[in-house]
Structures are given as structure tokens and as C-alpha cells.
Structure 1
Amino acid sequence: MMASSRELKLVRFWPLSMGKNRNGWLLILPLLLFLVVFFLYPVCGLLMNAFGDGHFTLSHFARIFRVSVYRDVMLNTLSISLMVTVLCVVLSYPIAYTMATVSGRTRKLLFIVILLPFWTSSLVRTTAWIILLQRNGVLNTLLTETGFISHPIDFVYNLSGVLIGMTHVLMPFVVLPLYASFRSLDTSVIRAAQGLGASPLTIFRKIILPLTSSGVLAGGLIVFMNSVGYYITPALMGGVKQTMIAQLIVDNITQELNWGFAAALSVMLLAIVISLFVLFQRCFGLERLMTGSGSKSQESFHIGDKRSFGGKLALWSTIPIGIFLIAPVVIVFPMSMGSSPFLTFPPTHLGFHWYQNFFEASKWMKALFESIKVALVTVVFATLIGTLAAVGIFRVQRGARKFLETLFILPMVVPIIILSIGLYYFLVPYGLVSTIWGLVIGHTILASPYVFITVRASLVSFDRNLEYAARGLGASWWTFSRRVLLPSIVPGIIGGAVFAFITSFDDLVVALFMTNVRSRTLPKLMYEGVAHEIDPTIIAASGVIILVTIVVLVVNMLISGRNRHG
């Protein structure tokens, strides 16, 4: 009787184990084929141009190291990226420490200060910084009127502008993992050190710094990887001396039409990024990138007395850093409400003049609807293939799983300028450039990793016993997925869809290559205006983008909260 019982259990669960790999590969296949055809093949096709057309040569690489201008650009890229990384780390420590030591309500406020600019378009933030920092901008006006300076200072179109703009965009990548490291500290070690008479400085130097170094390294590597391939902020806020490698690649494509040399520069840039990615993977693993840091301590702590010099220094330094993060986003709305033909802050006369211009001008409305249309189509495709891959990844062999996870998040690692040019090079012969489908393909490549990561994270906490129970009761795997699995991961799917929408709606770099005057999106139209002369209508457009982003995120929070409590 016992033997027959074992046989019955074996018969019941045998289909589960046998069908596991097959079902997993069927779910993974759409995203896998999509990325191979539209991501790997175009990028590799572009990079092959670096080695000659028809005959092998290394002349393009020799030119990079032979000509001093190109060596200077490479050095600029590395030095600027390093400076941005250091600034992000230094500025992140006080705000991450404060977030870990304050009450829950204050912590939520600081999270808003960090996440609001994080999810706001980098083009909007860059535009706001240009308005704040230009010679007749808000900061120079404030400093001259208060008597701190007698003549305006050049804060923008130079190194300071690039550092300010890039640090503002990339700083949240350090703050969040560093905060997680603070929250995972063993508070008993800190209390023991305090009990033995250690000063706050000693505790910070000998305990806090070593124990939070993993968060700093993780965030620093992510910032550096992003910095070396950055294009928008250096192009708009920098000068000739701050030219970075991504700008040089674009110039060789759009002005020199030298695809071979641009491909060689792309190989150099990609080699740097992939090396950093491999280093990140070896030090922290993909799990750190996809699910964040480890466990969080539920107990707040502080180093010494909050009323001490060290405690006051951390608190008071958080205030200007918080203002630095939130100011470019907050200042957009008051300036967009002005009716003056010039951008001033605070506005002398309030009104909706520039919003009226935005909603009445056909070019702005066409660009807005084009952005929304492309984003909605992108959401459908990215959410579908990203969700299927996230569900299927747990049903394949462990060895193949690691390779596939690396491939699926690779579009987040490869510099977007390389992806954009490679996709353009690939799609031109098929007539898909300057069409909605070419742009949707590019945006789906960018958005699908976010869907995959978000849904995958929600599946980590899924109780696998529910699957065994459903299969034991005779349900097929597809019935189980439809009735049990998918309803339980709906918040993750919605979150992934929100990330996909924002990624598509805010994209500029892919749109620069995949659209023309008739099909351009709202970010591209804004970029064209900022690159030549800032029309105040651009500020109204920035306000619209921020409002759309906030509405989408709030809807996501409400739906997620309802699902958690429903």
C-alpha cells in the first residue's frame, strides 16, 4: 500500500518536472528572439564596421590612439565619469544616513525627494538646470541681487555644468543602495562601540564606512557605467572641452558619415562598460542588480547624540542636498506659469500663456500624441514579452538561467547611443526608420528589461507550494498560471508596465535616430528647441511631462496598494 502511494505521488508530479523546462523555454522564447534579432544582431553589425568593410583592418583603432584629439576625448570621458561618481558618493552619504536614522514620516518625504527627480525625464531636468545656471538665470540673478557676486558666473556650458547635470541625474543610483546598506547594519555593533566610548568619528570611520562599502561600490559602479556612455547632459550643458565619447560617436555618424570610425569608438566604449559590468557581476552578482540589497533592519540608529556636532552636520547637510535634488523639478511649474516673453523666477505675472501656446500649437500637440501613442504600444509589447520571460526564467536549468538573465538585462548596460545607432543601421534597409514601428522596437528593447526585473522580483516571494497543490489537484500548468500565478503577480506586472511607459515616454536618444520632422516625439521636439534657443513653451512642455509622470506613478501606487489590501 505504501509503495502504491509513492507511485501515485510520482505519477501526479512527474508531468510537473518533465514539463518544467519545455514550458519555461516556450515562455522565454519571445523575448529571447526579440533581443537576438533587434538588439544583439544590430549592435554586433555596427561593431563589425570597426574592423573594415570587406577586408580586416585595425586602422580606425590606430587613429584613436594616434590623434591627440581622440585621446583627449577618451580621457575626458573617464575623468568626468570618475568625478561624477565621486560627487554622487560624497553627496549620497549624508542623505542616506539621515534616511536611515529619522522617523518613518520624514523618511517617506526624503524618498519622494529622491524618487521624484529619479523618475522625471533627464531632458526636463537638464533643461531646468540650464535655466537655473545660465548667465541670466535664477542662480546668477539671486547671487548678484544679494551682493555675493558683482558679475554673473559661467555655471553652464563648461565642466561645472556637466558635473552638476550628470550628478543630479545619476545620484539616486548611489543613494538607494547606500541607504539599503545603512538599514542592514547590525545596530548592536554600533551600540557596543558607543558603550566602549568610541567617538562618532571613530564609529563612522571604523564601522560605518567598512560595512556600507558594498553599497557605495555597487552604486558607484552603476554610476560610472552610465556616465561613460552619457550623451544628452554633456551635449546640452558642456562645452567643446567637455566632449565625451558618445558625442564623438554621434558627430562621426551625423556629420562625418564615418561609420567605421564611429564603430571603433563604440567598441572602445562598449569594452569599458562590459568590463565594469563583469566586475559588478563578480563582486555583487545579478541578484543585487535585480532585487536590490539584502535584508533591512527595522530599527533606526544614530551615531552618537543627534544634537552633537556630527548629528547636526549630517542633518543640515541633507537640506541643501535635498534642495539640489528637488529644485530643478519644482522650479519648472512656477516658471511655466509666467506670462513674460522671457524666463524669469519668480515670474512677474502669473498666467497660462505658455501652456496655451503648447496646447494650441499643432507641432506640440502632434509630438505629445506621438509620444503617448508610441508609449502605449510599447507597454503592450514590453509587458507581454517581459512578463512571459520573468515567469519562464524559473522553469529552466540553473546554468541557462544565469546566461538568460544576463542577456535580458543587457539593454540596460549597453550605452543607449550604441543601441540607437546600431538599430538605425539595421532598420534603414527595411524602411522602418521614421515610422512608429521602428521607434516601438527601440523602446521595447529599452523597456522590456524593466518589466522582466519587476515581475521577476514579485515572483521571488511567490509560494511555490501553490503550484504543487494546484498540479496535485489535476490542474494543467496553463490553468494554474491563468488562475493562480498571474493574479498573484498583478502588482509586479502593473509596476513593469508603468516603468515601460515612462521609459518610452521620456526617451530621447532612440528618438533622435528613429524619427524625423513628421514623426518626432515630444522629448525630441524639446531637445531641438533647447539645443538652439530656449522657447518658454518648452518649460510648459516640461511641466506636462512631469505631470504625466506623476499621474502614472500615483495610479501605479494606488493600484498596487489596492491589490495588497484587496
Structure 2
Amino acid sequence: MAGGSAGRHLGWAVLPLGVVLAVLFLWPVAQLLGLSFDSPAGPLGHYARILAVPAYRTALATTFQIAALVTLLAVLLAYPLAYLMATVPPRVAKLLTLCVLLPFWTSALVRTTAWIILLQRNGVLNALLTGSGLLEAPVAFVYNLSGVLIGMSHVLMPFVVLPLYGAFRGIDQNLVHAAETLGAGPWALCRRIFLPLTAPGVMAGATIVFMNALGYYITPSLMGGPAQTMVAQLIAFNINQQLDWGLAGALSLAMLLATLAVFFLFQAVFGLERLMGGAHASGRIGTPFALGPRGRSPGGRVMALLGAGVALFLIAPVLVVFPMSLGSSPFLAFPPQNFSLRWYEEFFSRPQWMASVWNSLTVAGIAVAGSTLLGTAAALGLSRLRGPLARLVETAFLLPMIVPHIILAIGLFGMMAPWGLVRGPWALGLAHIVVAAPFVVITVRAALRGVDPNLELAALGLGAGWFTMFRRVLLPGILPGIASGAVFAFITSFDDVVLALFLTNVRSRTLPKLMYEGVAHEINPTITAVAALIVLFTVLVLLLNLLLQRRAR
């Protein structure tokens, strides 16, 4: 009876995470947005100022323009790569998947830094183009719109590639064979089968890209110029330089409403499950899509060639970082003339770098422990809820993934700074719990769906208490999901820059914040060594996660 009672009341396990999000997410964001209505010119004074000042109107238009262009580029680049991944042998598909996952897991700041090195006037790309005679003089590929589009597309494109690949694999190969037998050519197959059946997966990925792009801060601030100023940069400017919290709140509300409108529109049309994990366009029916016996058509060969180019585009910045980190010159050059470990020695010998690493690990420890415990409990509680209440709670738990981090960072800064919490690791650690817990909820919920509920009922029916059943039956089944969630939480915390910019000071700053400060002013070659070490660390974490998934299977 006690075990059954505990199981029936398991829905209350969503409460701890709900309380944490109410205190550390909803309240600070609501406070910031509330300040937008506090103006000497009246409740709408700040909004009237946004409409009256050309710079603010331009930034709003620029934000939507860049977000739309990045989304379009991500979709166009993702199609050939996803097609190639679905039509090559399994071993090659795994290699291409690694080309997607490695940049996807690698710090966005590391990738942005690598692109700056590649695209600057004396960078690798200009050296190749001028050396080959294609250009007579270097071209400005960075600190303008092209730099922003390249950097943001590279960071966000995997969000489209992964669901689109799942959508291609979900197409029934027998359907393709039947269409070819009836005389359908490559264009007809594309128009009548591939595009309609992959559209839901593309929409899911494009929605995530667009929502992320609306609130992007790091890449535009590092790779763009004044003409590419986005709303997130204006929000930070009004806090850091103008101390105008009201106007920052008004800009935040405008960006938040746009982001939530896209989110809820997609949820209403396609459903939350497809956005957060359901990328399969038609379900797993029949034979998974693969290259047919006729081989590739001329159009298919072009798509495969483009797909290989996109894979190279994804992996190139990561590969360039390593040889540049081994150069001995104080100036960035590729390929390096002389090889040396000088910049690695510089990294390990400088106290500020070592202190930032320790701060990052401390914050990540707080984030992983808190988010894993709260997220696992919330996932167990959600598994017991049904109907509209379950959908409402699940949506509320996912909001920290949707709301731009710049809004949360400023809201938490306004709440925690008066208490002096930004002097240590706890302010940032608690903020990372807020943004990392949803990842744990998603992975543990997915693991719970793979556990046969009859095992739980059988254990309880044989007299086991609920806690004994959980320890002996349920926990082993969901442990890989918990571990994967903890890995995601660690990467989310260790990679964060935006929250760290506002919730740490000189003594408590993390490694990404110290790197950002270095890149924003002048790229010291030591940063290439740091970037290379972060990539190696990411590879180890990725291999650990893959090992956990293999053991789960």
C-alpha cells in the first residue's frame, strides 16, 4: 500500500523544479519586463521611444532579417547533407554524423573564434583565394553581414540537419521504388515525395533556429559590424552603458513576444513533441530510405557533392584550430611556420586562465548536481500527469530553452546583484540549473518511454515497495537517460557565455567569459590553444555520451 501510495503521489515530484523556475526564472524575467512600463512619459513611454528612435527600429528590423536569413541558409545547407547521410553506407553515415555532432557539441565561442581566424583579411580563406589568383586583394568576410550569417549558420545549422536526417530515414523506400516504377523522375520524386515528407522535420529545425537567432548575442557582437546590431546587443548596451533598465525591459519584451509567438504557433500546428524530439516525418514504416539500385541520378550526385561540402564547412573551423594552436609566432598564421607548445605553456602558466577553469568546473558542478536531481524528479512526475495539466507543466519546464538567455541574464543580475551573489559561483550555478534542467527532463522522459510499465506493475504486484521497485527496476532503465541529461547539463554550463557576462565578476569569471573578453579586444594566440583543449575535452565528453547510449541499447 505504501508503495502504491508513493507511486500515485509521484506527480508532486514536478513541484521542486517548478518552485526553482518560479523563483529563478519567472520572477526575475517578470521584474525586468515590469520595468518596461515604468517611464516618466507614461506606461508606454519606453515603447514609444523604441518606435521614435531610428536606431532601435533599425535594430528590430535587422534582428528579424538576420534571423530569417540564417534560418533560410540553415535549411538550404542542411538538405544536401541530410540527403547524403541517408544515402551512404552506415559507416560513412556515422562519420558524417560525427561531423555534425562534433561542431554541435563544441563551444559556440570556440567556433566563432575559429571563423574569425578563418575569415579575417589576413586569414586562411583570403590567403587561399589570393594565393590561387581568384582574388587580387583580400576581401572583408568578417565584421559585416557575411560574417554574421556564416558564423550563426554554422552554429545553428545542426538543429536542422539532425531532424531532417531523421525525416529522410523515416521515408519508406518502397514508396520511392513505386514512384520510380511509375516513371517519376528525380524532380518529381523531390517535389511529390521528399519535400512533403520531410517538411515537418524541416519546420521543427527551422523553428528552433529562428527562435535561437532572434536572441543571439555572441556571434553578432564578435563577427558583425555596426550595421548588424541586433536587439540582444542593444539590451546589453542599455544595461552596461546607459543603465536604462526600463528601455532594456521594453526591448526584452518585444524580443520575448516574437520568440514565444513562433514557439506557440509551431506547438499549435505541429505539436510540442515534434519540436522537442520528433523529427520523423512519416514514422518508421516499411524499409528505411536509402540509395536505390539505380544509383544516384545526376541531380543526386550534385546533392551528394554539395552535402560533402557542407560537412567540410561544419568541421573546418574545428580542424583549423589545432595547427594554429601549435604555431610559435605571436601573430595568427595558417599554416604555422614553426611548431611549438608555447601557447599551451602560456595557458597553463597564467593564473587567470587556471582560475577561470576552476570557476567553470565549480559552476558546472553546481549546475549538473542541481539540474540532474530536479530534472529527473520532474520527468518522473510528468510521467504520472495526464491531459492539459501535463502539457501545461511540460511547456512551462521547456520555457527556459525558448526564452533568450540575454533576458534571463539581465533579470537574474537585477535580482542577485543587490545581494552580492555575483561575487561567487552560486549566481551563475543557479542560473545554469535553470537552463540545463529542461535538457535533463527531455532525456529522462525519453528514457522513461523505453521502460516497459509492466515491469513496474509486476514488481509492485510481487510485494516490492515503490522505492524498492524504483531502485531495482525503474532506475536501471532510466540511468542512461539521467547520465545523458547530466552530460548535456555539463556542456550547457561549461559553454555558456551570455549568463557569465552578467553574473560573474573579475574573480569569479569563467573560462568562456575570459575567452570572450580576449576575442572581443584582440585574439591572442593563447586563445587558439584554449580552443583546441576545449575541442579535445568536448570529444571526450561526446565519446562518453555515445558509450552510455551504446550500453543503454
Normalising by structure 2, we get a TM-score of 0.97
Where in structure 1 are there 5+ consecutive unaligned residues? 1-11
Counterpart of 1:108 in structure 2 is: 94
**Equivalent residue in structure 1 for 2:202, among 213, 216, 224:** 216
1:128 equivalenced with 2:117 (yes/no)? no
Counterpart of 1:311 in structure 2 is: 300
Separation in 1, partners of 2:549, 2:54: 54
Q: How many residues align?
A: 550
Separation in 2, partners of 1:560, 1:180: 17
Identical-residue share of aligned pairs (%): 55
**Residues 1-150 of structure 1 correspond to what in structure 2 (within 5 A)?**
16=4, 19-25=6-12, 27-52=13-38, 57-150=43-136
Is contact 1:21–1:397 with CA below 8 Å preserved after alignment? no
Deviations 1:350-398 (A, max 9, x none): 1211101001111111111111121122111111111111111111343
Deviations 1:508-538 (A, max 9, x none): 0000001111111000000000000110000
Separation in 2, partners of 1:153, 1:109: 33
**Residues 232-243 of structure 1 correspond to what in structure 2 (within 5 A)?**
232-243=218-229
**Equivalent residue in structure 2 for 1:545, among 509, 534, 541:** 534
Note the aligned Cα RMSD (angstroms): 1.6
1:21 is displaced (CA, Å) by 4.6
Counterpart of 2:355 in structure 1 is: 366
SS in 2 for 1:149: coil
Is contact 2:119–2:142 with CA below 8 Å preserved after alignment? yes
> Aligned letter for 2:59?
V
1:307 is displaced (CA, Å) by 4.2
SS in 2 for 1:487: helix
1:477 equivalenced with 2:463 (yes/no)? no
> Aligned letter for 1:112?
L
Distance 1:231-1:303 versus aligned 2 partners, 3 A rule: farther
Is contact 1:199–1:304 with CA below 8 Å preserved after alignment? no
Counterpart of 2:178 in structure 1 is: 192
**Residues 386-401 of structure 1 correspond to what in structure 2 (within 5 A)?**
386-401=375-390
**Equivalent residue in structure 2 for 1:345, among 334, 337, 343:** 334
**Equivalent residue in structure 1 for 2:523, among 522, 534, 540:** 534
SS in 2 for 1:198: coil
Separation in 2, partners of 1:222, 1:290: 9
Separation in 2, partners of 1:153, 1:141: 10
Separation in 2, partners of 1:172, 1:529: 27
Is contact 1:303–1:311 with CA below 8 Å preserved after alignment? no
1:261 is displaced (CA, Å) by 0.4
Counterpart of 2:497 in structure 1 is: 508
**Equivalent residue in structure 2 for 1:267, among 233, 253, 259:** 253
> Aligned letter for 1:550?
V
1:304 is displaced (CA, Å) by 8.5
SS in 1 for 2:423: coil
Separation in 2, partners of 1:334, 1:306: 38
Is contact 1:371–1:522 with CA below 8 Å preserved after alignment? yes
Q: 204-213 or 499-508, which moves further after superposition?
A: 204-213
Q: 354-363 or 300-309, which moves further after superposition?
A: 300-309
Q: 471-480 or 221-230, which moves further after superposition?
A: 471-480
> Aligned letter for 2:239?
I
Separation in 2, partners of 1:82, 1:23: 43
Separation in 2, partners of 1:536, 1:475: 60
SS in 1 for 2:383: helix
Separation in 2, partners of 1:236, 1:55: 35
Deviations 1:51-110 (A, max 9, x none): 116996101111111222111111100111111111011111111111111110111011
Separation in 2, partners of 1:210, 1:289: 17
SS in 1 for 2:122: coil
Counterpart of 2:512 in structure 1 is: 523
Separation in 1, partners of 2:482, 2:358: 25
Counterpart of 1:496 in structure 2 is: 485
> Aligned letter for 1:271?
L
Distance 1:132-1:563 versus aligned 2 partners, 3 A rule: same
Is contact 1:382–1:447 with CA below 8 Å preserved after alignment? yes
Is contact 1:165–1:237 with CA below 8 Å preserved after alignment? yes
> Aligned letter for 2:253?
V
Separation in 1, partners of 2:63, 2:152: 12
1:299 is displaced (CA, Å) by 2.9
1:469 is displaced (CA, Å) by 1.0
SS in 2 for 1:350: coil
Separation in 1, partners of 2:170, 2:288: 9
Counterpart of 1:7 in structure 2 is: none
Counterpart of 2:426 in structure 1 is: 437
> Aligned letter for 1:164?
I
Deviations 1:25-72 (A, max 9, x none): 0x2121111001101111011100011169961011111112221111
Counterpart of 1:153 in structure 2 is: 139
> Aligned letter for 1:158?
N
> Aligned letter for 2:162?
L
Q: 206-215 or 257-266, which moves further after superposition?
A: 206-215
Distance 1:276-1:307 versus aligned 2 partners, 3 A rule: closer
Where in structure 2 are there 5+ consecutive unaligned residues? none
1:489 is displaced (CA, Å) by 0.9
Is contact 2:7–2:466 with CA below 8 Å preserved after alignment? no
SS in 2 for 1:51: coil
